Amino acid sequence: MAVKLVTTVQELHSEGARLLAAKRGTSQGLVPTMGALHEGHAALARAAVEQNDVVVATIFVNPLQFGDALDLDRYPRTLEADLALLDREGVDLVFAPSVDEVYPGGEPLVRVTSGRLGEKWEGASRPGHFDGALTVVAKLLHYGLPAAGLAAGGGTGGGLPAYRAYFGQKDAQQLALVRRMVADLNFPVEVVGVPTVRAADGLALSSRNRFLSPEEREGALVLSRALRLLEERAHAREPLDLESAQALVESQPLVALDYFDVVDPATLEPLAENCRETPFRGEGLALIAAKVGPVRLIDNMPLSS
Ligand code: PAF
């Protein structure tokens, strides 16, 4: 296997700098993950490998973003398979630290707060989730800074390498929040959003899909069907008629709808006027969340006309 695994920040910096120097690299990509990788993560890695000379993926199940200790324990850990997938995609280096390595003083006292944007939609049913996710993303973006390794003795011979970080469009609220954090707090990194990968039947890939029974999986397809309906109407510049799409989801007995709305892609504020009787114009994002049996699923669809 060509991909190299490191577990400490020091190794990450020295190995990252070595790779940049060896490849005379002018760009570094970072792919933050929590492991349990699937083809959606493979698409992130592939985009990073296409666009950068050196690619680092991180695998860290971040306790700070789990409300429930049981959920944290149950989160699948599949390091060997994850390494094989990242190796197949051409990732150079994997940083898989322990909890103590990331939080050496225990839980951090000072955290990133996600503000209003983190309180709605997913944030409403998972209080504190986005503060925990942004806090670890901030740390991972700092750990992955190519300059950190170069300062420790590496070098490309030129200016600072470009630095890009890759996040899935599937977690649209997380992506919007990471973009805002990077802009609001001046992180020297370009955030790249990668389109959602779907199974042939339309279900968005997620590490949670493995917990669906065959019947629940079949029932879950109504989420992507309803989103596609809105996408088609937006394309055809028809009224979105969100209510009829909501009714379609609610007609599926195994699905308990949490929210389904059309929002501004950056602010995630509802685009109420655009969703009902008037023909859809411009850009929007349809967001949906539902419990399918015991499994909470989220999905979304960019809309444009
Ligand atoms: O999307 C995820 O897998 C996680 O929220 C992330 C970005 C790796 C932070 O823990």
- Centre of ligand 1 to C-alpha 243, Å, is 32
Residue to mutate (ligand 1; options 174, 189, 196; most atoms within 8 A of CB)? 174
Burial class (CB in 10 A: 0-12, 13-18, 19+), 185: exposed
Distances (CA, A) of 235 to 158, 193, 284: 46, 22, 11
Assess whether the C-beta atom of 31 lies below 6 angstroms from ligand 1. no
User: 274 pLDDT exceeds 90?
Assistant: no
Pairing of strands 93-95, 255-263: unpaired
Q: How far apart are CA 274 and CA 296, in angstroms?
A: 27
Judge whether 33 and 127 are in contact, CB under 8 Å: no
Q: How much is the pLDDT for 125? A: 93
| Weakest-pLDDT range from 56-70, 188-202, 262-276, 284-298 | 262-276
pLDDT in tens, 202-260: 999 999 999 999 999 999 999 999 999 999 999 999 999 999 999 999 999 999 999 99
For ligand 1, atom 9, name the residue with the nearest CA: 133
The answer to whether 53 and 25 are in contact (CB under 8 A) is: yes
Active site residue 41: yes
pLDDT at 153 over 60: no
Minimum mean pLDDT among 15-24, 156-165, 277-286: which range?
Answer: 156-165
Higher pLDDT, 62 or 147: 62
Show the domains of the chain with their CATH numbers: 4-194 (3.40.50.620), 207-300 (3.30.1300.10)
**In whole angstroms, what is the distance from residue 246 CA to residue 235 CA?**
19
Length of the chain: 305
> Is residue 161 within 6 Å of ligand 1 at its C-beta?
no
Confidence of residue 150 (pLDDT cuts 50, 70, 90): low
Q: With a 6 A CB cut-off, is 62 part of the ligand 1 pocket?
A: yes
Q: Which residues contact 170 (CB under 8 A, 6 or more apart)?
A: 40, 196, 197, 204, 205, 206, 298, 299, 300
Q: What is the mean pLDDT of the chain?
A: 95
3-state secondary structure 164-180: EEEEECCCHHHHHHHHH
pLDDT band at residue 120 under the 50/70/90 scheme = very high
Give the C-alpha separation, 1 to 86, whole Å: 10
What's this model's pTM, rounded to 2 decimal places? 0.95
Does the pLDDT at position 70 exceed 90?
no
133 alpha carbon – ligand 1 mean position (Å):
6
Query: Tens digits of per-residue pLDDT, 44-57?
Result: 999 999 999 999 99
Asked if 254 and 219 count as a contact pair (C-beta separation under 8 A), the reply is: yes
Please tell me the predicted confidence (pLDDT) of residue 159. Answer: 73
Q: What's the gap in Å between 34 CA and the centre of ligand 1?
A: 6
Provide DSSP, 261-279: EEE-TTT--B-GGGGTTSB
